[in-house]
Structure 1
Amino acid sequence: MDFITISFENNSNIPLYIQLYNYFKKEIEVGNLKANSKLPSKRKLSKHLQISQNTIEAAYEQLIIEGYIISLPKKGYFVCELEEVFKGEEIIEEETIIKKNKNEYKYEFFSSRVDLGSFPHAIWKRINKEIISEENKGLLQIGHSQGDKNLRETISNYLRFSRGVKSTADNIVVGAGSEYLIQLLINLLGRNKFYGVEEPGYYKVRKILNINGIYPKGISLDNQGISIRELESLKVQVLHITPSHQFPSGIIMPINRRMQLLSWANKDDDRYIIEDDYDSEFRFEGRPIPALQSLDSNGRVIYLGTFSKCFSPSIRIAYMVLPDELIKIYRRDFSFLACTVSRITQQALFKFIKEGYFERHLNKMRNLYKKKREFLINLINKHFSNTEIIGTNSGLHLLLKVNNGMTERELIKKAEEKKIRILGLSNSYIDSNMETSTVFLGYASLSNEEMEEAVILLKKAWNL
């Protein structure tokens, strides 16, 4: 496909790149552009349409982000096989039917789970086999404390493109999961600091702080995220937040609130913000929002990311981007620590990303999870009454507020009687005894058929 015919609306308020993006998106969805079809190069299309290459690049990047096309190095842009999304769902159904009889629960709405049926088993197996060879026997030796440099360089490039994060390989530390890295940060920043967390927030962070003798201040949320007024009133030096998709509420922090947070951090050299970007890859409405760290010019933000949600929880690869002053302290005081991720796993992930498989997998999963999310929301709207869905435009879970007179504990108990396991929102508060009527619905690991069966059972259990 070398040429296309499109009539731009030059007097429209819609930017040209969005018009071009909408054109290709529609052509792919209706089947006019078949899977594996090659799109025109930016140079050829620019000359043909008489528009800048930057405009075309912006349109292509948005199509890549949403999983409609992929970019292959030195080859060009190609249409993705969208039908694979449905094949992936069929695979997971077969696997879960075998597994679910082994468990006490028939269905589990857990936000920490991923779709196992869509994992690229054959590719991952082949790459690991190639890595474990005589030529790579040096990988059996202990590597760099911060992780293998080629993987750190690859992560740095990925973050720069996808999240706008300012980093180099030298500022990145790789570790076995975000929990380990938070523990490392406590040692790095000090237990004598005053810590703050979102309220409600991610319970594991709170527990890690607690076992280190740290009892953080819970800071409430408003409709834009963490309350600046409340933060200013407390003696907090280190703040853990999830601005791109607040856990668990799903709030996306707007730019004005982000700038207010940075202003707070800049007032004292002892203040740091830990930006936990745990599942920013899965944003289903609008364009991706740059990371808070991308706005930081004074080294106040520590960026934390993981491959658990976008690839696999079990490979245990997370990373943090430390400001220059903190990486100096890390090298001085902690470089004796061995990296907690196997070098074989590090090199397998490096190769998986370098050869383009990660981008392809991520785009496929975005499409798959978006369809699953829409399916679950439609099920809730169809079968439930007196309920409210919270946080619907990103992430791999949503919250469901049930207004049927039952408490959270009663909702969980009634669900268990139907062999369905769910978690309540109260677990995300410092005071876990707080009564709510809101539960988590993590949908990533469930097939459409399983979600429908579970929703119908919950309707009966909760008398909706």
Structure 2
Amino acid sequence: MITTVLDPAGARPMYLQLYRFIRSEIESGRLPSHEKLPSRRKLAAHLKVSLATVGTAYAQLAAEGYVRAEPKRGYYVQPFAAHAFAGGRPAPPAASRKRRDPSKRPEFDFQTNVVDTNLFPYAIWARLARKTLSEGGEELLNAADPQGDPALRGEIARYLHDFRGINAHPEQVVVGAGSEYLLGLLIQILGRRKIYAMEDPGYPKNRRIYMGNDAEIIPVPLDGQGLSDSELRKTEAEIVHITPSHQFPLGMVMPVSRRISLLQWAREREGRYVLEDDYDSEFRFVGRPIPALQGLDPEKVIYTNSFTRSLAPSLRISYLVLPASLLEIYREKYLFYSCPVPNFEQNTLFRFMSQGYFESHLNRMRNAYKERRDQLVAAVMNSRLGGSVDVIGSDAGLHLLFRVNNGMNEKQLVSSAGAAGVRVYGAGEFSAGRAVNCPESTVVIGYSGFPAQNIAPAVERLERAWTG
């Protein structure tokens, strides 16, 4: 519907005001070619003007060739009009123009933040969603519990106990729309004046979230076991943010001895906490699953995870498990925050988990990703790259690293691969600039969203780029 404000007391007649407005919409492209204009009666009722006003404006537009009148059908924008004017459609904002041109995207991209959506259980999810709609009633339309649906929180607590060794009451679980939202909330609970230690190299988005909340962050280098506890002790940090199940991006699994050392650090001073980011923990391919750090000390560990990797990125459901002391602060000061996840999605996920589909889905994904990982590693090892590439971090998670011993540095590896149409990511790209122990000549390879049929041709491109 065309909407504008017409001034009855204006210097120009209202039909002329309307004519000029519609002409401007056509010239700018906001009314595209072949768009049907509202009927005279509907537009007159919408704008609260007479039929004569609309009819006269339409007649003038038709006379000048901006629209055409079709008997018994109405008025339509002429096909040439939307692009035939010097002004044309307004240029997009500068921020939009900075987005990557789709035509310049590499043919093969080993990005780390995607999953294989073909593995999503569409049929099961659709059936449960329909059941949620048919049985949910008006509860689905009401505001969600600020902390998240109690039934879903209970199911998350059960899953964490059974599969991650976490002892948490459903009341300790806070559901939110994505890890970004929950990390921002957690910074408010803990306090922006706290000093936060982060793995370096580490996940860049988390670093940006801390900075966006004006929190002070200290990058702490890694050693062979993960974040260095000796380097941490040299800082004034009060919170340490780690990915112990599969460090991002270097891929190591933190051993129990280092976990205990970090817990000891947290216990030495009141107000210290370990933030355990358990992303990718569902995907361990070698050996038995390692229980979460939270199970060793529920009062000193804040646990967070998401369904982004295990289900789909668009399912923006993540969760925190808060220690009792922080839960009290949250409920006292921040319970007024509405839960940003709709009841419909929460209830559907609850059904998916409580009926056993989630565990079955994880098993299917683990098998599929393990097969894809094996296919990728075999393709590299059986190529001319096999003698010069060390594969690191393949025991768990959905990415691995290639350390390439061909005389090229990281920048050269990334650049030459890009020239061959393959996007890989240098390990140093994930550093805050102080990663003294970041491996040299090493690239990060995400494979979870990489089509299996593209592995062989992509490796052939890398072979040519890195061996000549």
Band of TM-score, shorter chain:
0.7 to 0.9
Distance 1:103 1:115 in 2: 23
| Residue 397 of structure 1 pairs with residue 407 of structure 2 | no
Which one of the candidate residues 442, 447, 461 is aligned to 1:443? 447
The CA deviation string for residues 344-394 of structure 1, in whole angstroms up to 9 with x for no partner, is 111111111112111111101111111111111111111114222111100
Q: Is the 8 A contact 2:421 2:461 kept in 1?
A: no
Distance 2:237 2:429 in 1: 23
Partner in structure 2 of residue 355 of structure 1: 355
Q: Is the 8 A contact 2:194 2:216 kept in 1?
A: no
Partner in structure 2 of residue 417 of structure 1: 419
With a CA cutoff of 8 Å and minimum separation of 6, indicate the structure with the bigger relative contact order: 1
Distance 1:426 1:180 in 2: 26
Distance 2:288 2:241 in 1: 24
Q: Does the residue aligned with 2:382 lie in a helix, a strand or coil?
A: helix
Distance 1:428 1:108 in 2: 17
Q: What amino acid is the match of 1:325?
A: S
Identity across aligned pairs (percent)?
Answer: 44
The CA deviation string for residues 128-166 of structure 1, in whole angstroms up to 9 with x for no partner, is 122123742221111111100000000000000000111
Report the structure number with the largest CA radius of gyration: 2
Q: What amino acid is the match of 2:165?
A: G
Distance 1:374 1:428, change over 3 A: same
Q: Does the residue aligned with 2:174 lie in a helix, a strand or coil?
A: strand
List structure 1 segments (4+ residues) > 4 angstroms apart after TM superposition.
432-436
> Aligned ranges for residues 51-450 of structure 1 at < 5 Å?
104-133=105-134, 135-296=136-297, 299-383=299-383, 384=385, 385-431=387-433, 436-450=440-454
Distance 1:367 1:133 in 2: 34
Distance 1:270 1:134 in 2: 45
Q: Does the residue aligned with 1:303 lie in a helix, a strand or coil?
A: strand
Q: Does the residue aligned with 1:394 lie in a helix, a strand or coil?
A: coil
Q: What amino acid is the match of 1:390?
A: I
Q: Is the 8 A contact 1:224 1:251 kept in 2?
A: yes
Distance 1:311 1:416 in 2: 30
Let me know the Cα RMSD of the aligned residues.
Answer: 1.8
Distance 2:103 2:433 in 1: 34
Mean alpha-carbon deviation: is it higher for 135-144 or for 307-316? 135-144
Distance 1:185 1:254 in 2: 26
Distance 1:193 1:433 in 2: 22
Taking structure 2 as the reference length, the TM-score comes to 0.75
Q: Is the 8 A contact 1:196 1:219 kept in 2?
A: yes
Partner in structure 2 of residue 459 of structure 1: 463
Q: Is the 8 A contact 1:426 1:432 kept in 2?
A: no
Q: What amino acid is the match of 2:461?
A: L
Taking structure 1 as the reference length, the TM-score comes to 0.75
Distance 2:324 2:434 in 1: 37
Distance 1:135 1:324, change over 3 A: closer
Distance 2:341 2:173 in 1: 14
| Count of aligned pairs | 363
